[in-house]
Amino acid sequence: MKKSTAWFIFTATVSILGILFFWPLWKVVSGGFWVDGRLTFRYLFGVFENPIYVEGLFNSLKIALGTTGLAMLVALPLAWLANQFEFRGKAVFSSLVLVPMILPPFVGAIGFQQMFGAYGMINTLFGLGPIDWLGGGQYVGVVLLQTLSLYPILYLNAVASLANIDPAMEEAAANLGGTRLRRFFRITLPLMAPGLFAGGTLIFIWSFTELGTPLIMNYTRCASVQVYDSLKEIGSNPFPYALVMVMLVVSTGLYAISKWLFGGRAYAMQSKASTQSASRKLIGMKGVLAALPFALVVGLALLPHLGVVLTSFAAPGSWYQSVLPQEWTGGNYLEALGHDMTVSSIRNSLLFSSLAVLFDIVVGIAIAFVVVRSTLRVRGVLDAVSMIPLAVPGLVMAFGFLSVSSWLSNLKVFADWEGWQNLVDVRTNPTLFLVLAYSVRRLPYMVRSAVAGLQQTSVTFEEAAWNMGASAATTLRRITIPLILANLIAGALLTFAFSMLEVSDSLMLAQQADYMPITKAIFELFQLLGTGKYVAAALGVWAMAFLTTTLVGSSLLLGKKLGAVFRV
Amino acid sequence: MPVPITIENVTKNFGANQVLKGISAQIAAGELFFLLGPSGCGKTTLLRAVAGLNEPDGGRILAGERDVTHLPPHKRDMGMVFQSYALWPHMTLRENVAFGLEMRGVKKAEAEPRVRKALEMVKLADRADSKPNELSGGQQQRVALARALVIEPQCLLLDEPLSNLDAKLRIEMRTEIRRICKEAGLTAIYVTHDQKEALSIADRVAILDQGRLLQVGTPQEVYIRPNSRFVAQFIGETTFVEGTVKARGKGRIVVETATGDWEAETETPWTEGRTVWLSIRPEAVRLHTDRQEGANLFTGQLHATVYLGEVAQHAVALAGGVILKALEMRPRVVARDDERAEVRLWINPGDVQVLGE
């Protein structure tokens, strides 16, 4: 690749990332510190002096720690079992444990409440009184729901880390007399620590700033909900900015720590594993015992989904103080199809997500090309920068985009131009900002996929094409893209799926019914009295089916490499 | 149309590392020219500079009269065979071979027979619709050759084309490559680190080391008359004996060494007293000689022998601690372990090459 071309792409992509990523972040930072033309720390300190904000931050931290810890407890034993043993049903279970990813946890919350609520399925089934399983403050419910939805990220990281460890490491320990359990704690666990920490960081950041689940579970005293509630005052009140700023610092701080701890010295295996992993075949009772934890976790993780499906088929009001709905109906789906908000939300989500995918494909390929194929010294910087969106919570980005939008729509220069408001004011039409928000937050998946594809494709294929007389553009079209197509499709599917699932940006940026994506529509429907909850569940089932298809597609294309996509 | 290639004082740096230190060479039209050297000598860098895959920092490269130094690779018309073959895995053989013609805007009707002919030439016409991964290494190598040849390049470039093949196939293929090049009258530049490959099929060989071109000549010239110790030991086996020039006669000098005085034929006017190295090829050592007097007669002890059946490779210890390599057809005596048979040997002064560096 020519140096001048490389520099051009580098400058262009860095500018795009600068505008789409650092500008909103800057708005967040400056909104809390730069008030009335003066630098002030009043509001930052104010956050910590206000007991309500302190409680919110503390509760968010509690949610994040609880979720991350619980996810470790769930994912680690499963990954270890999958790595060490062969047993009947392992293949099925190892794909089933990923199923929770097809549904944002807040949708699952709808079904969850039906089952674990005071008058829900469990209490009726076991003839218990109106016990509130979700705990008075709903804390347990939030943590449980998020764990059941996020543990796959950690599981994938753990499995990938385990697979990377040369079995000879463990064999050497066994040779020196280490028992299976001691080998795990003394050899395997330290070796997989970087992968675990990476996955744990993602889960921590995700659950620390998760908005949908606490909203549905009515756990309002946490920082994310407090930010959401203060959106109306975004123009006048610097406190929400300062609060978002604190969340940003915690998240990126944790990300930086994980990079600092493990970035430079991930324990690279000195040799490719020369032997197959020494997994032991378990038959009979032992095999069943090994499969049991998988069955348990999958069963638990699918409960919210089951709840949503049941709710979607329940006649409104018929699932109360009963094990199952007492009256079944397909009416919720019919009503969903007839509902203006539902139909337009599906259309909107498809449109926003497709545009985001297009954007990410172009930018992602360009970045990957510079990272893999150029000799620029700064290419590492581009690689690192394009990964940062993983570390910045969606809530923070959404907040930043909101204030960018409000700044742009107040520009005097364009005051007379009607189209301008339609373009940049999210209160009028959030299309532009939703597409950009989706794009920038899912860009890391696309970059990772494209980088992996290019790294696996020898540059001599491209050189041979030039040698045969193909220009750079022809080579890209005829040789490079066909060769990395599987990676591109997989990256595109993931980008698409996670854009469809996106919660924070969708809840915060889409304020007009005409422009609501699916997640926001589900949330709005849920809040409607009467049939709202049931129609919301029907829409949730539709989204689940859709996302299952795309995720199964991408995992087939990527094979076992799916885990690599979720690494920091 | 094949054209001569001129390389003028080409330099190339990778960071602080100068990998080409001013290389010049003239390759005639229709010549099979070899770049030979150890890994890291710069031979592949030079070839890639000719192909346009990297740009020289200094100097010029001419294809015929045309300066192509800064021309992008796709405008050069030089077919290249890559070490890894670089056959596009998503295309059939036919599509791989046709690609270059397509890029040149050759009509389908005209391209088809040319592609078929190219595949016939490498004996793979019946596999035209296979994908590269269905072929063996040798077959892939031949497709890579057909792809480079079908465009009738100004110059064919081969980057260690046989290094991924097994020994037997390598020997078959190198003769095949020479036949194809000569039949088409191609100018070809061939990079290898295998001196046997170079000696067996090259018209001329250029020997490179550490970014410098040390010697250019026909295979016989570089083997029999190497111009430096590096060339002598890189091409074939040899023993060096260090000494000083003691006397000079017409076309002949006497060199004093630790093993005694040697006579060597040389055209170079070596000054008396100067340090030189004598290079003696193993096959030039005549063991068990009947000669009783004359120059270069020595007595040594068989030090070790590698017995290979038709020949034996001996190491003979001479006076002054010099171990001379000697090759013997139909070996008579084989030294094993502690045996130290005494042996008389003679080297024709015409077979002793005098080297100044």
Range name among A119-123, A150-154, A190-194, B137-141 with the lowest pLDDT average = A119-123
**Parallel/antiparallel/unpaired status of strands B17-27 and B32-36:** unpaired
Q: What is the pLDDT of residue A555?
A: 66
Q: What is the pLDDT of residue B338?
A: 59
pLDDT band, residue A274 (cuts 50/70/90) = very low
Task: Give the tokens for residue A275.
Answer: 């032997």
3 state SS of A413: helix
Say whether pLDDT at A127 is over 70.
Answer: no
Residue B219, min C-alpha distance to chain A (Å):
29
User: Per the CB < 8 Å rule, is B99 touching A470?
Assistant: yes
User: Per the CB < 8 Å rule, is A469 touching B147?
Assistant: no
Name the A residues in 440-499 with CB < 8 Å from any B CB. Answer: 458, 460-461, 463-471, 474, 478-479, 482-483
Contacts of A456 in chain B (CB under 8 A): none
Element counts in chain B: helices (H) and strands (E):
8, 20
User: Per the CB < 8 Å rule, is B73 touching A463?
Assistant: yes
Please provide residue A444's backbone torsions phi and psi, each rounded to the nearest 5 degrees.
-55, -40
User: Over the range B141-158, which residues count as b (16 or more CB within 10 Å of their CB) and which as e?
Assistant: bbbbbbbbbbbbbbbbbb
Beta bridge partners of B13: B18
List, in sequence order, the alpha helices (H) in A165-238.
Answer: 167-175, 180-183, 189-209, 212-216, 223-229
Is the whole model's pTM more than 0.90, yes or no? Answer: no
What strands lie across the sheet with B5-14, from one edge to the other? B17-27, B5-14, B58-63, B66-67
Q: Rounded distance, CA A445 to CA A361, Å?
A: 10
Length of chain B: 357
Beta bridge partners of A528: none
Residue with tokens 């040697």, as numbered in its chain = B262
Say whether pLDDT at B302 is over 90.
Answer: no
Q: CB of B104 within 8 Å of any CB in chain A?
A: yes
Question: Mean pLDDT across the stretch A399-426?
Answer: 80
User: What are the Cα distances from residue B201, in Å, to B156, B159, B218?
Assistant: 15, 15, 10
Q: Domains of chain A: which residue ranges?
A: 44-304
**Parallel/antiparallel/unpaired status of strands B204-209 and B212-217:** antiparallel
CATH class entry, domain B237-355: mainly beta
Contacts of B84 in chain A (CB under 8 A): 458, 460
User: Per the CB < 8 Å rule, is B88 touching A483?
Assistant: yes
Mean model confidence pLDDT for chain B = 91
> Does residue B2 contact residue B32 with C-beta atoms inside 8 Å?
no
> Does residue A374 contact residue A382 with C-beta atoms inside 8 Å?
no
User: What are the Cα distances from residue B149, in Å, to A108, B2, B50, B115, B313?
Assistant: 63, 11, 17, 10, 42
Please provide residue B55's backbone torsions phi and psi, each rounded to the nearest 5 degrees.
-100, 130
> Does residue B211 contact residue B41 with C-beta atoms inside 8 Å?
yes
Say whether pLDDT at A137 is over 70.
Answer: no
pLDDT band, residue A272 (cuts 50/70/90) = very low
Cβ contacts of B351 within 8 Å, gap of 6 or more: B280, B281, B284
Q: Quick one: how far is CA A314 from the chain centroid?
A: 30
Q: CB of B100 within 8 Å of any CB in chain A?
A: yes
Maximum average pLDDT range among A334-348, A503-517, B33-47, B162-176: B33-47
| Interface with B, mutate which of A459, A467, A479 (most B CBs under 10 A) | A467
B80, B90, B151 ranked by CB distance to A482: nearest: B90
Q: Rounded distance, CA B284 to CA B328, Å?
A: 10
Q: What is the pLDDT of residue A271?
A: 42
User: Which H/E stretch holds residue A157?
Assistant: helix A139-164
- How confident is the model over B150-201, as pLDDT tens digits? 998 999 999 999 988 888 888 988 998 999 899 889 999 999 999 999 999 9
Q: Specify whether the backbone of B52 is left (phi greater than 0), alpha (psi in -120 to 50) or beta.
A: left
Task: Give the tokens for residue A295.
Answer: 């069955």
pLDDT band, residue B37 (cuts 50/70/90) = very high
User: What are the Cα distances from residue B280, in Å, to B263, B266, B284, B306, B333?
Assistant: 12, 14, 7, 19, 21
Question: Mean pLDDT across the stretch A181-192?
Answer: 79
CATH class entry, domain B5-228: alpha beta
Say whether pLDDT at A565 is over 60.
Answer: no
Direct distance between the N- and C-terminal alpha carbons of chain A, in angstroms, rounded to an integer: 28
Q: Rounded distance, CA B352 to CA B183, Å?
A: 38
User: Per the CB < 8 Å rule, is A479 touching B73?
Assistant: no
Question: Mean pLDDT across the stretch A143-147?
Answer: 89
B51, B74, B148 ranked by CB distance to A470: nearest: B74
Maximum alpha-carbon separation in chain A:
80
Say whether pLDDT at B51 is over 80.
Answer: yes
Q: Domains of chain B: which residue ranges?
A: 5-228, 237-355
CATH superfamily of A44-304: MetI-like (1.10.3720.10)
Instruction: Report the candidate in A467, A565, A555 with the shortest Cα–Cα distance to residue A91.
Output: A555
B74, B87, B88 ranked by CB distance to A469: nearest: B74
Residue A478, min C-alpha distance to chain B (Å):
10
pLDDT band, residue B109 (cuts 50/70/90) = very high
Q: What is the pLDDT of residue A132?
A: 66
> Does residue B48 contact residue B32 with C-beta atoms inside 8 Å?
no
- How confident is the model over A277-311, as pLDDT tens digits? 556 778 778 888 888 888 888 888 888 888 888 88
Percentage of residues in chain A having pLDDT higher than 90: 11
Q: Rounded distance, CA B254 to CA B272, Å?
A: 9
Count of alpha carbons within 13 angstroms of residue B290, beta-carbon side: 0
Q: What is the pLDDT of residue A558?
A: 62
Question: Mean pLDDT across the stretch B307-329?
Answer: 90
Q: Which amino acid is at A518?
A: I
pLDDT band, residue A61 (cuts 50/70/90) = very high
Q: CB of A15 within 8 Å of any CB in chain B?
A: no
pLDDT band, residue B213 (cuts 50/70/90) = very high
Say whether pLDDT at A65 is over 70.
Answer: yes
> Does residue B112 contact residue B134 with C-beta atoms inside 8 Å?
no
Beta bridge partners of B18: B13
Taking the CA atoms of chain A, what radius of gyration do you get in angstroms? Answer: 25
Q: Rounded distance, CA A360 to CA A352, Å?
A: 12
Range name among A372-376, A500-504, B114-118, B330-334 with the lowest pLDDT average = B330-334
Question: Mean pLDDT across the stretch B206-213?
Answer: 95
Cβ contacts of A141 within 8 Å, gap of 6 or more: A109, A112, A113, A116, A133, A134, A135, A217, A219
A80 versus B207: the higher-pLDDT residue is: B207
Q: What is the pLDDT of residue B282?
A: 94
Instruction: Report the candidate in B75, B93, B77 with the shortest Cα–Cα distance to residue B85.
Output: B93
Direct distance between the N- and C-terminal alpha carbons of chain B, in angstroms, rounded to an integer: 41
Q: What is the pLDDT of residue A559?
A: 58
User: Over the range A168-188, which residues count as b (16 or more CB within 10 Å of their CB) and which as e?
Assistant: bbbeebbeeebeeeebbeebb
Question: Mean pLDDT across the stretch A404-433?
Answer: 80
Closest Cα in chain A to B95: A478
Instruction: Report the candidate in A316, A326, A210, A327 with the shortest Cα–Cα distance to residue A536.
Output: A316
- The interaxial angle of helices A394-409 and A189-209, nearest 10 deg, is 40
Q: CB of B171 within 8 Å of any CB in chain A?
A: no
Task: Give the tokens for residue B157.
Answer: 């470039």
B276 versus A88: the higher-pLDDT residue is: B276
- How confident is the model over A533-557, as pLDDT tens digits? 888 888 888 888 887 787 777 667 6
Residue with tokens 């750079």, as numbered in its chain = A472
3 state SS of B32: strand
A273 versus B186: the higher-pLDDT residue is: B186
Cβ contacts of A223 within 8 Å, gap of 6 or more: A53, A56, A57, A59, A60, A209, A243, A246, A247
User: Per the CB < 8 Å rule, is B100 touching A469?
Assistant: yes
Closest Cα in chain A to B101: A468
Q: Rounded distance, CA A156 to CA B255, Å?
A: 74
Maximum average pLDDT range among A30-34, A147-151, A374-378, A425-429: A147-151
Please provide residue A127's backbone torsions phi and psi, each rounded to the nearest 5 degrees.
60, 35
Could you count the other beta carbons within 10 Å of the beta carbon of residue A299? 11
Q: Rounded distance, CA A413 to CA B37, Å?
A: 68
Mean model confidence pLDDT for chain A = 81
Say whether pLDDT at B117 is over 70.
Answer: yes
**Parallel/antiparallel/unpaired status of strands B323-329 and B17-27:** unpaired
User: What are the Cα distances from residue A162, in Å, to A76, A123, B215?
Assistant: 10, 40, 54
**What are the percentages of helix, strand and coil residues in chain A, rounded to 5?**
75, 0, 20
Task: Give the tokens for residue B60.
Answer: 């010029």
User: Per the CB < 8 Å rule, is A461 touching B88?
Assistant: yes
Residue with tokens 């071309």, as numbered in its chain = A5
User: Per the CB < 8 Å rule, is A467 touching B73?
Assistant: yes
User: Sign (positive/negative) of CA torsion A332, A336, A341, A342?
Assistant: positive
